[in-house]
């Protein structure tokens, strides 16, 4: 006789029953039960567990998807800004100004950036958010193409010049580069010495819904350690809070820092091997090439959690 999975209607114990019989007795609580009801009981609770698990999996998947897109867009906005800045430098060097289409593209980048800043303050884990973010990502791709077209348009103008002129320009360019390098070396040595041990503007968190919070604003300090190699000792200090009752291991903080003078950016990371509930003072020190004075964003990655948090 084949046995069928069932669940006791009285105590809930998992059972295997002979479904050709009408009644049986639970070996655990000794209560007689109707076989068909016990089988139904098993099927219903199993279906519930399955459905709950499905919903949980779906939520985690969605969360990961949204978080990945946030990160992707953040990087893409940075790339778009970098590309546009590089292009703008070419324009300035040529003594030109941005035309209408170029100004529009810059406005588009800024609008996307502003929108993204607002979005990441209160992350929404929904399918609508996924498609909004995907659209933003596509918009950024088409912005890259536009900037590339602008660049092409400018190089074509160059091609029209004669070989002689080009050589003349190359010689002039080499001379200018040597001059710029010499001047900037002198200038940066001068600035470095003057900017040693300068404490930055503070970083104030944007979101407070995460398990990890920044309770006092973070500060970044860079002090020059070697003028000639442009090496700095960059320190991030502040206080963070684990707002849960869990002790997390290997919590990674990624700080995006920026030099306020040159706009040069870098990611500094700090790993805390054990982050117990409550407050913790952080003091991370790294040797960097660059005088970082500003923290743009902080991302927290917790081991065992696929999500990361923007704090
Ligand atoms: Zn029972």
Q: Name the more confident of 224 and 177.
A: 177
CB within 8 A of 60, min separation 6: which ones? 306
User: How far does residue 50's CA lie from ligand 1's centre (Å)?
Assistant: 23
Task: For residues 155 and 169, give the distance between their C-alpha atoms in angstroms, rounded to a whole number.
Answer: 14
Largest CA distance in the chain: 104
| Host H or E run for residue 136 | helix 127-159
User: How far does residue 28's CA lie from ligand 1's centre (Å)?
Assistant: 5
Q: Name the more confident of 204 and 213.
A: 213
For residue range 103-119, list pLDDT tens digits in order: 899 999 999 999 998 88
Confidence of residue 275 (pLDDT cuts 50, 70, 90): very high
The partner residues of 299 in beta bridges, in order of sequence, read: 254, 310
pLDDT of residue 225: 78
pLDDT of 201 higher than 70? no
Beta-carbon count within 10 A of 292 CB = 26
pLDDT of residue 188: 52
pLDDT of 279 higher than 60? yes
For residue range 47-103, list pLDDT tens digits in order: 888 788 888 888 888 889 999 999 999 999 999 998 898 888 888 887 888 888 898
User: How far does residue 12's CA lie from ligand 1's centre (Å)?
Assistant: 6
Task: For residues 241 and 128, give the distance between their C-alpha atoms in angstroms, rounded to a whole number.
Answer: 32
User: How far does residue 9's CA lie from ligand 1's centre (Å)?
Assistant: 7
pTM of the complete model: 0.40
User: How far does residue 54's CA lie from ligand 1's centre (Å)?
Assistant: 28
For residue range 26-46, list pLDDT tens digits in order: 999 999 999 999 999 999 888
For residue range 164-196, list pLDDT tens digits in order: 567 777 888 888 888 888 776 655 544 444 344
């Amino acid at each position: 006789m084949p046995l069928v999975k069932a669940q006791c209607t009285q105590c809930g114990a998992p059972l295997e029953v002979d479904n050709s019989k009408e009644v049986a007795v639970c070996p655990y609580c000794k209560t007689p039960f109707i076989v068909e009801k016990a089988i139904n009981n098993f099927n219903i609770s199993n279906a519930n567990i399955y459905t709950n698990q499905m919903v949980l999996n779906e939520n985690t998947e969605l969360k990961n998807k949204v978080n990945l897109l946030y990160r992707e867009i953040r990087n893409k906005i940075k790339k778009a800004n970098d590309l546009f800045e590089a292009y703008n430098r070419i324009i300035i060097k040529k003594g030109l100004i941005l035309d209408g289409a170029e100004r529009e593209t810059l406005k588009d980048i800024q609008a996307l950036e502003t929108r993204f800043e607002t979005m990441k303050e209160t992350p929404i884990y929904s399918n609508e958010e996924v498609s909004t973010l995907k659209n933003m990502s596509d918009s950024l791709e088409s912005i890259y193409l536009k900037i590339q077209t602008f660049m092409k348009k400018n190089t074509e103008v160059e091609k029209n010049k004669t070989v002689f002129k080009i050589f003349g320009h190359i010689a002039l360019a080499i001379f200018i580069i040597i001059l710029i390098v010499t001047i900037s070396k002198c200038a940066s040595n001068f600035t470095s010495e003057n900017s040693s041990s300068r404490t930055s503007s503070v970083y104030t968190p944007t979101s407070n819904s995460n398990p990890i919070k920044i309770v006092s604003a973070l500060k970044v300090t860079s002090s020059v350690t070697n003028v000639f190699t442009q090496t700095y000792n960059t320190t991030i200090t502040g206080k963070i809070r684990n707002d849960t009752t869990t002790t997390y291991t290997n919590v990674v903080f990624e700080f995006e820092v920026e030099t306020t003078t040159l706009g040069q950016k870098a990611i500094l990371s700090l790993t805390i091997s054990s982050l117990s509930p409550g407050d913790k003072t952080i003091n991370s020190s790294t040797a960097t090439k660059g005088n970082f004075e500003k923290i743009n964003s902080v991302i927290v990655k917790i081991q065992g959690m696929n999500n990361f948090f923007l704090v």
